[in-house]
Amino acid sequence: MTKLKEAQDWVREDWEENSKPVDEKTEILFLIEEFGEVAEMIRKIDGNKNRKKVKIDLEKEIGDLLVCLASIANRHHVDLEKAFLKTKRKIQKRHQKGY
Ligand SMILES: [Mg+2]
């Protein structure tokens, strides 16, 4: 679980050192844009003869999406690891109840 925190910290530090600040709306638009690129790669996998390359591209786009999400979490001081663990517990409770 430490790795998720390290990733979030890296995004924060890298943005502070190397990126021009963007407003929240732009940040959300980047997230949506990357989400669309993930969807595009998934669509391309189906029936594509060059699946291996598309899967590599999918991995790259999921990485982009994760960085955008970390940036939004940083803006709002949300700890991604804590957020993930809360959701994990919620899902586990749901499964214990037999939903
Ligand atoms: Mg991308």
pLDDT in tens, the chain (99 residues): 458 999 999 999 999 999 998 999 999 999 999 999 999 999 988 777 787 888 889 999 999 999 999 999 999 999 999 999 999 999 999 999 876
- 65 within 8 A of 38, measured Cβ to Cβ: yes
Position 48 scores a pLDDT of 76
> How many domains does the chain divide into?
1
Domain containing 88 equals 2-96
Please, are residues 27 and 68 in contact by the beta-carbon 8 Å criterion? yes
Query: From ligand 1's centre to the CA of 16, what distance in Å?
Result: 21
Contacts of 37 (CB under 8 A, 6+ apart): 61, 64, 65
Distance (Å, whole) CA 54 – CA 38: 11
| pTM as predicted | 0.87
CA 96–ligand 1 middle distance (angstroms)? 37
| Cβ neighbours, 10 Å, residue 11 | 21
pLDDT of residue 55: 86
Residue 55 sits in a domain whose CATH number is: 1.10.287.1080
How far apart are the CA of 29 and the centre of ligand 1, in A?
Answer: 12
Ligand 1 midpoint to CA 81 (Å): 23
**What is the spatial distance between Cα 99 and Cα 97, in angstroms, rounded to a whole number?**
6
50: which DSSP letter?
Answer: T
